[in-house]
Chain A
Amino acid sequence: METKNNWKAWLYLAPALILMALFTFYPLINTLLVSFLKNYNYVSGASEGFTFENFGIVLGITPIQTGGTPVYVTNFIRYALPNTLIITFVTVPISIILALFIAILINSIKVLRGLFQTIFFLPYVTNVIAVGMVFSLIFSTSGVFNSLFNLRIDWIGYGSNRVTALFILCIYIIWTQLPYKILIFLSGLQGIDKQYYDAAKLDGASKLKTTFKITMPLLSPQILYIMITSFISAFKEYNAVVGLFNRSYTGSPNTPDLYTVVYYIYDQLGTNNNNVSYASAGAVVLFAIILVFTLLQMWASKKRVHY
């Protein structure tokens, strides 16, 4: 039976394999290659050999020679990377703790549980661009937030402060990231055997102690999974920036201080710049960061996660 199935199995796989070869495997290798090619032209496919220059230029180490004067392009290292790191290290821990807290609250009630579950899941099915525009209106200078608290702060408008703009961005990202995490934690909580809690009760353990000594350790696989996936998605943040600001700068277009790594990549790729080599180098850097972080988290959690 096994040999008979052999060639037929490949027929079943053929559509997926062909499409993945074209749109996953080839692009992956090609992008990696292009990031190391000097003066690559994607129309003709011509280049001037291998180089590390693209990475140097993206990271602001190597200058670009324009008419004899060396120019350092530091948009990536000054804005894109720091913003992405800020977004990641602010939104990931806060949203995980908040989601865990809300999930434990929902799990402890019986009446109206389904209703709360549905409400907290709502942001997942909505459009990040659309709700970003709503947030943008709420936090505009004459918007609801300012008028509620009698403020006149320009949170996110043209000429606003980078700090307030990033602050609102982080709030919005947390809002969009909560539902998925709450759902995963809830399904994890429901899988915990009631016996553990009964045993803890008999021993007279307090609620807080039960949470930290029983719930958290038994939920650790879900927490690890959520940590890894949310680090990855925070590093790739782009849609929330577009939804909220529709631009990459607070003051002038020449200082793109609202860049994220992915925003930078798409800007380099787009029709304005057409720097495929820089976009590729940026993507490879992103890939490397994500890989290192994922492996680090898996390594660090090896002893703490109970399966």
Chain B
Amino acid sequence: MTNPVNVTTTLTLRIPGKKRNVEDTKKRDKVFKIIGLIVTYVLLVLFALLILVPFYYMIVASMMTEDEVREGILFPTTDIFSNLVDNYSRTINNPSFQYFDLVLNTLIVALSTTCFGLIITILTAFAFSRLQFKGRDLLFTIFLATMMIPGEMMVITNYTTMSNLNLITLNQSRMEAYLVMILPFLVSVFYIYLLRQTFKQIPNELYLAAKVDGKSDWSYLWKVMVPLASPTLITIFILNLIGGWNAYVWPKTAVLNSDYYPISVALRSAALQKEVMPDVYETQSSWQMAATVLTVLPLLILFIIFRKYIMRGVGRAGIKG
């Protein structure tokens, strides 16, 4: 047995030919690291500003007078509060932008699509993840393949079908307009795929245990699987709702009665005009910005509340619209 040696000598490494030692190099690295960090933050702040400027201007312009908007200034100089009251009150009650009617139309369509769609998604994902039947994998592959096909292929025939069923007419009823908007979007293959992945992670033992207890597939699905998959279900619900709120192309094509427009369609076609002289009308950009704030605000509130669900869901490979 030898005694442990106590090393107390400090080593100073010298790089041959150069006049730097380890201490100097360490210091230099630290300085570089700090500079790098500063550059990183400066770049990030710059990019973030570019992302935020449109939001800032949208909100600020809705609190300006029309003259200020036309001057192209970034900061209002008049009383923001009275401008805000004026612009928003004129926008909300404008004949071409009946805000509360539009919200009602949009919410009814988006919520029906989302709720009925979610039930269909749950049933289908359950069949694809837990049940055994002939041709399961082939059918699932066919489902997935439809995601590759541009929606325009379907839209054309859906338009002619609906129009032959007299659902697309100039005097559409409320029910007809809503049906036309809801029906083609009830099934979403992407959400079926997302939920199937979640269902598959639930251990098979639970299913077998439920079988031993004499539980039917139906009650196992609703009592065990749905509660366990609730985070994914919330994500699907929110993403679907956002998609419904932002729907533009199909309603624009298929809803001819402007009383039943969803909000995006009305926003783009609204004539927010002021009578500046007798029989002379001018579009008010400040009112338009108030209308865009009113359209975007519910989404931003939803985003703030459900930020984690939305970002996690999209991060797991999401799609838009």
Q: How many A-B residue pairs have CB under 8 A?
A: 250
Q: Which B residue sits closest to A144, measured CB to CB?
A: B72
Contacts A5-B133, A24-B187, A137-B61 known; A123 to B51 CB distance under 8 Å?
yes
Mask, A128-143, CB within 8 Å of B = 1, is 1111011101101011
A13-B127, A127-B296 given as contacts; is B187 within 8 A of A20 (CB)? yes
Shortest CB-to-CB span from B265 to chain A, Å, is 8
Q: Which residues of A contact B48 (CB under 8 A)?
A: 116, 119-120
Number of interface residues of B (CB under 8 A): 92
The answer, yes or no, to whether B227 is at the interface (CB within 8 Å) is no
Q: Are A137 and B288 in contact (CB under 8 A)?
A: yes
Q: How many residues of A contact B (CB 8 A)?
A: 97
Does B281 have its Cβ within 8 Å of any Cβ on chain A?
no
Chain A residue numbers with a CB within 8 Å of B148 are: 290-291, 294
For the complex, what is the distance from the CA of A283 to the CA of B154, rounded to whole Å? 9
User: Which of A125, A133, A284 makes the CB contact (< 8 A) with B292?
Assistant: A133
Contact of A134 with B54 at beta-carbon distance under 8 Å, contacts A125-B300, A280-B156, A286-B152 already known: yes
- Residues in B neighbouring A284, C-beta threshold 8 A: 153
A147:B72 contact, CB within 8 angstroms:
yes
B157 touches A239 (CB 8 A): no
Q: How far is the CA of A113 from the CA of B69 in the complex (A)?
A: 34
A134-173 CB contacts (< 8 Å) to partner B: 134-135, 137-138, 140, 142-148
B43 touches A105 (CB 8 A): yes
Instruction: Select B307's contact among A118, A146, A232, A246, beta carbons within 8 Å.
Output: A118
A300 interface residue (CB < 8 Å to B) = no
The stretch that binds A, out of B80-88, B97-105, B158-166, B197-205, is B158-166
Residues of A within 8 A of B285 (CB): 137, 140
Task: Give the contacts of B135-173 with A (CB-CB under 8 A).
Answer: 136, 139, 143, 146, 148-161, 163-164
On B, residues with C-beta under 8 Å from A are 36-37, 40-41, 43-44, 47-48, 50-55, 57-58, 61, 69-74, 119-121, 123-124, 126-127, 131-134, 136, 139, 143, 146, 148-161, 163-164, 183-184, 186-187, 192, 217, 242, 245-246, 248-249, 252-253, 256, 264, 267-268, 285, 288-289, 292, 295-296, 299-300, 302-303, 307, 310-311, 314-321
30 contacts between A and B (CB under 8 A): A16-B120, A16-B192, A28-B157, A31-B154, A119-B48, A120-B47, A124-B314, A125-B299, A125-B310, A127-B264, A128-B246, A131-B296, A133-B289, A134-B289, A137-B69, A142-B71, A144-B74, A147-B71, A147-B72, A148-B74, A175-B50, A178-B51, A239-B249, A242-B248, A265-B152, A266-B152, A269-B156, A279-B156, A283-B152, A284-B153
